[in-house]
Chain A
Amino acid sequence: MRSVAGWTAVAAAGLLLLPWYVVDNFWTFGWVARAGGTAHAPALLQALLHGKAWLLLLFLPLAGILATRLPREKAGFWVALAGCTGLAVLLLQGFLFRHPNVTPAGWPTQAGMGYGALVTGLAFLMLLCEGLALRGVCRGDGFTVSSIGLIVATIAIFVFFPILFILKSALQDNAGNFAPALFYAQITDRSLWGLDCLVSSVRCGVAWNTLFLAGLVGAGTTLLGLAFALVATRTAFRFKGLLRVISVLPIITPPFVIGLAVILLFGRNGGVTTLLYDWFDIPRSRWIYGLPGIFLAQMLAFTPIAFLVLIGVVQGISPSLEEASQTLRARGWATFRTVTLPLLRPGLANAFLLGFVESMADFGNPLVLAGNFEVLSVKIFFAVVGAAHDQSKAAVLALVILSFTLAAFYAQQRWLGRASYTTVTGKGDAGLPAPLPPMLRWLCYAVVAPWTLFTFAVYATILVGGFVKSLGRDYTPTLQHFLTGFSVSMGERGLHFTGSAWDSLWTTVWIAALAAPLTAAAGLLTAWLLTHQDFAGRRAFEFGTLLSFAIPGTVVGVSYILAFNVAPFELTGTGVILVICFVFRNMPVGVRAGIAALSQIDKSLDEASSTLGARSATTLRRVVAPLLRPAMVAALVYSFVRAMTAVSAIIFLVTAQYNMATAYIVGRVEAGEFGLAIAYSCVLIAIMVAAILAIQLAVGERKLGRRSAGDLALQGSA
Chain B
Amino acid sequence: MAVVEFRNVFKRYGAVTAVDDVSFTIQPGRLVTLLGPSGCGKTTTLRLIAGLEMASAGRIFIGERDVTAFSAAERDVSMVFQSYALFPHMTVLENAAYGPTVSGEKPERAKEMAIAKLKLVGLDGFAERLPSELSGGQQQRVAVARALVLEPQVLLFDEPLSNLDAKLRRRVREDIREMQQSLKLTVVYVTHDQQEALAVSDRIIVMSNARIAQEGSPRELYEAPRDRFVADFIGDANLVEAEMGAHQGEHAPVRIGGLDVRLAHRGVAPGAVRVAIRPESIRLSLEKREASFAGTLRKAAYLGTHMEYTVVGPVGTLFVVDHAVNKPLAAGTAVFVSLSEQGIALVPG
Contacts and interface: CB of A to CB of B under 8 A. Distances in A.
A140 B98 CA distance: 21
In the A-B complex, list the 4 residue pairs whose CB atoms are closest, starting with the nearest: A705-B130, A140-B71, A608-B85, A136-B69
B89 A611 contact: no
A680 to B, nearest CB: 42
A141 B71 contact: yes
A666 B219 CA distance: 84
A610 B73 contact: yes
A705 B88 contact: yes
Given A139-B71, A140-B54, A716-B131, 16 more contacts: A135-B69, A136-B55, A136-B69, A607-B52, A608-B86, A609-B98, A610-B71, A611-B50, A611-B51, A611-B79, A612-B98, A613-B103, A614-B102, A705-B131, A713-B132, A716-B83
Interface of B: 50-55, 66, 68-75, 77-79, 81-89, 98-99, 102-103, 130-133, 136, 139, 143, 146-147, 150, 156, 163
B82 A604 contact: yes
B54 A605 contact: no
A714 B132 CA distance: 9
A602 B83 contact: yes
Interface stretch (A105-113, A383-391, A471-479, A618-626): A618-626
A134 interface: yes
A546 B73 CA distance: 32
Given A613-B103, A705-B130, A139 B72 contact: yes
A41 B146 CA distance: 54
Given A714-B88, A717-B139, A612 B83 contact: no
Contacts of A615: 71, 73, 102
Contact of B99 (A134, A613, A705, A717): A613
B128 to A, nearest CB: 11
Nearest to A704: B88
13 contacts: A136-B55, A139-B51, A139-B72, A140-B74, A611-B52, A611-B72, A612-B99, A615-B71, A704-B88, A704-B89, A705-B133, A706-B132, A716-B83
Contacts of A607: 50, 52, 72, 79, 81, 85
B46 to A, nearest CB: 11
B190 to A, nearest CB: 14
A718 interface: yes
B89 A702 contact: yes
A76 B68 CA distance: 13
A154 B74 CA distance: 29
Contact of B83 (A136, A609, A613, A715): A715
B88 A72 contact: no
A140 B69 contact: yes
Q: Which of B53, B55, B69, B156 has the most CB of A within 10 A?
A: B69
Contact of A73 (B66, B72, B74): B66
Interface of A is mostly: helix
Contacts of B52: 139, 607, 610-611
Interface string A474-516: 0000000000000000000000000000000000000000000
A73 B132 contact: no
Interface of A: 72-73, 76, 133-137, 139-142, 602, 604-605, 607-616, 618, 622-623, 626-627, 702-707, 713-718
Given A136-B54, A704-B132, A718-B139, A627 B66 contact: no
Nearest to A144: B71
A417 to B, nearest CB: 22
B89 A626 contact: yes
B88 A627 contact: yes
Contact of B81 (A135, A623, A716): A716
Q: Which of B51, B72, B82, B103 has the most CB of A within 10 A?
A: B72
B102 A618 contact: yes
A602 B52 CA distance: 14
Q: Which of B74, B77, B102, B150 has the most CB of A within 10 A?
A: B102
Contacts of B150: 612-613
Nearest to B53: A139
Nearest to B13: A534
B88 A718 contact: yes
Contact of B87 (A73, A76, A605, A610): A605
A713 B83 contact: no
Contacts of A137: 54
A716 B73 contact: no
B157 to A, nearest CB: 12
A141 B51 CA distance: 10
Q: Which of A76, A141, A713, A717 has the most CB of B within 10 A?
A: A717
Contacts of A707: 132
B102 A718 contact: no
Nearest to B104: A613
Contacts of A718: 88, 131-132, 139
A717 B52 CA distance: 20
B103 A623 contact: no
A248 to B, nearest CB: 28
B132 to A, nearest CB: 4
Contacts of A702: 89
A696 B156 CA distance: 41
A553 B51 CA distance: 43
B218 to A, nearest CB: 27
A714 to B, nearest CB: 6
B292 to A, nearest CB: 53
Contact of B130 (A623, A704, A714): A704
Contacts of A604: 81-83, 85
Given A140-B51, A140-B54, A716 B88 contact: yes
A703 B88 CA distance: 8
B74 A602 contact: no
A134 B54 CA distance: 12
A614 B98 contact: yes
A703 B89 contact: yes
B81 A622 contact: no
Given A139-B51, A612-B78, A612-B98, A605 B132 contact: no
Given A139-B54, A705-B132, A608 B81 contact: yes
B85 A716 contact: yes
Nearest to A703: B89
Nearest to B55: A136
Nearest to A708: B132
A136 B78 contact: no
Contacts of A613: 73, 99, 102-103, 150
